[in-house]
Structure 1
Amino acid sequence: MGNETINRKKGVNVPEKILGVGRSLMSVKGFSAVGLNEILKEANVPKGSFYHYFGSKDAFGVAVLNSYFEDYLAEIDKILNQKEVTMADCLLMFFVRWQERQAFLECKGKCLVVKLGAEVADLSEPMRLTLQHGTVEIIKRIAKAINNAVKEGTLEDKGDSYTVAESLFQIWLGASVMVKLDKNIQPFESAMLTTRQLLGLSVS
């Protein structure tokens, strides 16, 4: 009896299992350093199953990123759509959560944009486009939250909300890279200070 048959009998979703293993490994090692055999061994599935579901490692990388963004965007929506707090506070909570997700000691399985962005941009056009689409969706959600905060009166109107959101995303993306390089959270502290200034919030 093959591994895939055993997995099915146990009620295991084989492609989801492979994606989960790949996502975890790539968040630590990157895309190129993770070999197919390592993924298959960790997931305990045969090579034929991999190619049945994904076709190639490149296609697998796209699937991993799509899975990552699906989960991440759902988490963002949950943070930014809370009813019991103001929209300005929701935005700050989002960036606090960003810091928690991207902390250099807690990054396993969580930081694929930071981990893979620069690496795959020149290696895989499909993966680059998937990363680009996912980051645009993140920025759109930040911009929408800024607009909603302006409407409820908890933020001042600073003009084009998408431009502000894009700037904030870039600041935090850069801070995430610096945190990994420095092994220190100070870049996040600077990012939060700049965030409050861009949003017109008091700086404590």
Structure 2
Amino acid sequence: MPRDAAHTDTRQEILNTAYGLVGAKGFSGVGLNEILTTAGVPKGSFYHYFGSKEAFGEALLADYFEAYLADLDATLAEPGLNQAERLMNYWRKWQATQGSIDYQRKCLAVKLAAEVSDLSEAMRLALKGGTAGIIERLSHAIAAGVAEGSLTVQGEPQTTAEDLYHVWLGASLMAKIVRTDAPFEAAIGTTRRLLGLAPH
């Protein structure tokens, strides 16, 4: 295997391992030794791949959002559906992921927003850029839905996309507190209302 490929594979293995650990314990709650031991990577090699734990956190978020946005693009382009159906499928996936105990699938934006935004400017900016990418895609999908007539909104699609993202972010945090799906069910209702869809 070429040296660059081995380097990339080891770096990615560290990131992949960290998803579950950070999803379960938070960024500050996970030590580098735990990540490296779990990944089966020699402890002394971390700084060969990342300059610091903060740089590692920034890379983790960048990697996470790259995969998340690719999945969102696929969801919002699913054939045979209108834009309203695609958008509602996205929110249902959000509920299924955030309601799961599988920490590999937990949204790092939800998990880390409050924890790291005051601790690391680089990680805050990574979160800001990633969430902006999500909102931008939702805005385009909403605009397309309005154009095709599958949904209606009051005001600009961008504003509606921001409102919906905020609703779902809040619902995810409340679901952690109450440990029921009630916040998500309320978010579904709010989403359908903001998109001009009939209640389910």
TM-score between both structures, scaled by the size of structure 1? 0.92
Residue from 17, 20, 27 that aligns with 1:21: 17
Distance, in Å, in 1 between the alignment partners of 2:142 and 2:154 is 9
1:154-194 per-residue CA deviation (whole Å, 9 max, x = no partner) reads: 11242211110000000000000111111100100000000
Determine if contact 1:80/1:145 at 8 Å carries over to the other structure.
yes
Equivalent position SS for 1:13: helix
2:70 — aligned with what?
A: 74
Matched, 1:39 2:38: no
Cα shift at 1:24:
1.6
Determine if contact 2:19/2:104 at 8 Å carries over to the other structure.
no
Matched, 1:94 2:61: no
> % of aligned pairs identical?
49
Residue from 147, 150, 153 that aligns with 2:146: 150
1:186 — aligned with what?
A: 182
1:8-54 per-residue CA deviation (whole Å, 9 max, x = no partner) reads: 5xx98100000111122101100001001111111111233210111
Aligned residue runs from structure 1 range 116-127, under 5 A: 116-127=112-123
Equivalent position SS for 1:45: coil
Equivalent position SS for 1:32: coil
Cα shift at 1:113:
0.9
1:168 — aligned with what?
A: 164
Determine if contact 2:77/2:86 at 8 Å carries over to the other structure.
yes
TM-score between both structures, scaled by the size of structure 2? 0.93
Which shifted more, 11-20 or 53-62? Answer: 11-20
AA of the residue aligned to 1:45: V
Cα shift at 1:153:
1.1
Distance, in Å, in 2 between the alignment partners of 1:171 and 1:128 is 20
Distance, in Å, in 1 between the alignment partners of 2:103 and 2:47 is 29
AA of the residue aligned to 2:175: V
Determine if contact 1:28/1:109 at 8 Å carries over to the other structure.
no
Distance, in Å, in 2 between the alignment partners of 1:105 and 1:37 is 24
1:196 — aligned with what?
A: 192
AA of the residue aligned to 2:171: A
Matched, 1:141 2:151: no
